[in-house]
Structure 1
């Protein structure tokens, strides 16, 4: 078995914080929130209209009509993020036509086309009225299907469906495939739709913040007065590559994927677990041959829910008590980007690493007994960031943790 080093040579982002790496970096540094009100949710019957406000990309002129019609909202986001990632990696169409590149994306729903299909059947009672576009839009694998055909990707090709850990697991699996010598390069990441069809069932669980009069203060990870998460979305993409291959083609190396850890809680479907979280983080550290003292920054999963934040705070304190690692949840600014979150938060962490700062956990005013022991960054901290741990946990007890490490200049 090979044991190759795996590096990141490109990344891209399309989120409520911005639609380019530079915009997002500035927003993170400024502690700027991307949360607002979606009035369509009020009309539709949501209890909470809060959401991340994500711009719709303009794909006319970039893609043909035939390419566009098979793309749901999250695939459009993923395409834009992937364009930026490939550009940063120095990979163009000619390269893709002559080299095998894989694609693994995290995506756990494609709600709007499913609902549109059902409406057509309810109203017309004729499946011939549906058309082929909705078939390809409605599948969970829609992001991979679209990206692989548009970019001519001929390597590994599948979707990770693992709730809010999907994007993180996609990076972890791409890392393992390259590490073992089965692929040289993989485009990976996560994508999440933000249309109002996607989140009504979560709204029914009373999972969302009701702080409607103060949208940008609604997402409050670790704060005693948090009252629920804020849904969000977009897409994040990373190009993972074998270190020697990257060097050989003169690629710019952003960082190294040093470790991947995972676990399952094996408990209730909505029940987080501090022991499960500890297992995933410990595995990632062990895989990276790193100790808790080596970690400079922890990008917490913390979604701004009372129970989830409490459990993660316990887990982080269990491993990192007495160490120097700063902690923040970028969901305080972005809301919970769900299926893309593990990938977007890897990108956010890498931007901090590149520019030597830790983004703040905004809206943190009052600690509770669980968050008080944490070394929370409640304002932007200018500091050298060499090694990062990024956590992602999801419904059904799926846990993922990634260790990302700055690499010495070639």
Structure 2
């Protein structure tokens, strides 16, 4: 890696999303900014006897309206979400068709599970109905289905792969694409995450962990009692600043830094040191100091222990007065491998609008979470630098830093 390449600045020129707020990055931002929860009664294809009856699912989504009939048989829901989000991002970046592709275009998509709906349907067909799996089951369920489908869709022939690190998947996918561009291994990338995990078996599994709320998700609040599972996807177009300006594009922001660490501590419990080192690494990568950060979009799951750990990690990095913090998971749910992408889309919109979204459903401060959670109402404020955190099971951490241009 040359010194010149190591200094290459990376920008985001397009972003797209599909979430419980609907199709598009704009509806997602409007819901986050206005504090409108998109968590609804659970809807599943088969009867569900579980205790939790809510989720953040995509409303009224018709994939045939966005994806050609000859492509759909190869696409599990998580791949469908990737396509819809990527198409929006590509359009916003100013590309058409396969113009964005070529040997210097990478595609990296994070997902925690991959084709969960296909797996669930096949298992039901096999064990409950005595039938045979769908012929295209394997190409539908593999996590690499999303990035390879996007690669074919846009003619992207650079490094292409899926990244699976549970709830840090999208953040790490974007971060690794960032490092790839900065190092000179690619000139542009489609990067993000997608997850379609609201199925019977998955809901039962999460219930078994006792981390789901039966009513309201309340990050950093007293009396919080868990998270809500969500689905969706978010994809971003990353380019070098030089390439973007050369073709006359207007960047949304600079993707300035990335940090990733491992706690190496526990399969489920988070640690303070790993997330703190991750945030410090992102700041160092961006050439920033803790005092430069105006806003932080937290992982903020609303589980009792994780919010305390993340609060302590923020105080370890920023001292007694961390920047204003919000968790938008009560809006779009915890979309597992897609969450970091949805939250980066919200963070970029907050940066551009100068509005920090609220942490809704907040009741009263928890003395063990000594942060400013922007409770219940959005806050208009200048935001020049923002961080977005994702911390996953197994202690896999990811943080992205964005800057206004």
TM value normalised by structure 2: 0.94
State which of 370, 373, 376 in structure 1 corresponds to 2:373: 376
Which whole-Å deviations, capped at 9, do the CAs of 1:127-159 have from their partners, x for residues lacking one? xx4343211111122211222222222111101
Q: Residues 260 and 204 of structure 1: is their aligned pair in 2 closer, same or farther, counting only changes over 3 Å?
A: same
Q: Report the 3-state secondary structure (helix = DSSP H, G, I; strand = E; otherwise coil) of the residue aligned with 1:312.
A: helix
Q: Report the 3-state secondary structure (helix = DSSP H, G, I; strand = E; otherwise coil) of the residue aligned with 1:199.
A: helix
Q: Does 1:320 align with 2:325?
A: no
Structure 1 residue aligned with 2:338: 340
Structure 2 contact 198–230 (Cα < 8 Å) conserved: no
Structure 1 residue aligned with 2:183: 180
- Where in structure 2 are there 5+ consecutive unaligned residues? none
Q: Does 1:210 align with 2:214?
A: yes
Which whole-Å deviations, capped at 9, do the CAs of 1:308-351 have from their partners, x for residues lacking one? 11100111122223446211111122221111011111110001
Structure 2 residue aligned with 1:117: 122
Structure 1 residue aligned with 2:55: 51
Structure 1 residue aligned with 2:350: 352
Alpha-carbon separation, structure 2, partners of 1:36 and 1:384: 33
Q: Does 1:90 align with 2:115?
A: no
State which of 153, 157, 173 in structure 1 corresponds to 2:156: 153
Structure 2 contact 220–373 (Cα < 8 Å) conserved: no
Displacement of 1:119: 3.5
Q: Report the 3-state secondary structure (helix = DSSP H, G, I; strand = E; otherwise coil) of the residue aligned with 2:302.
A: coil
- Where in structure 1 are there 5+ consecutive unaligned residues? 212-217
Instruction: Map 1:3-402 onto structure 2 (within 5 A).
Output: 3=6, 4-40=8-44, 43-60=47-64, 62-96=66-100, 100-109=104-113, 110-122=115-127, 129-197=132-200, 198-211=202-215, 218-323=216-321, 325-371=323-369, 373-378=370-375, 379-402=377-400
Q: Report the 3-state secondary structure (helix = DSSP H, G, I; strand = E; otherwise coil) of the residue aligned with 1:207.
A: coil
Q: Residues 97 and 189 of structure 1: is their aligned pair in 2 closer, same or farther, counting only changes over 3 Å?
A: closer
Which whole-Å deviations, capped at 9, do the CAs of 1:347-395 have from their partners, x for residues lacking one? 1000111111000011111111222x21221121111111001110000
Alpha-carbon separation, structure 2, partners of 1:203 and 1:180: 42
Root-mean-square deviation (CA, aligned residues, Å) is: 1.9
Moved more, 234-243 or 20-29: 20-29
Displacement of 1:52: 0.5
Structure 2 contact 259–280 (Cα < 8 Å) conserved: yes
Structure 1 contact 41–49 (Cα < 8 Å) conserved: no
Alpha-carbon separation, structure 1, partners of 2:326 and 2:123: 41
Moved more, 36-45 or 200-209: 36-45
Alpha-carbon separation, structure 1, partners of 2:265 and 2:101: 46
- Corresponding pairs, count: 398
TM value normalised by structure 1: 0.92
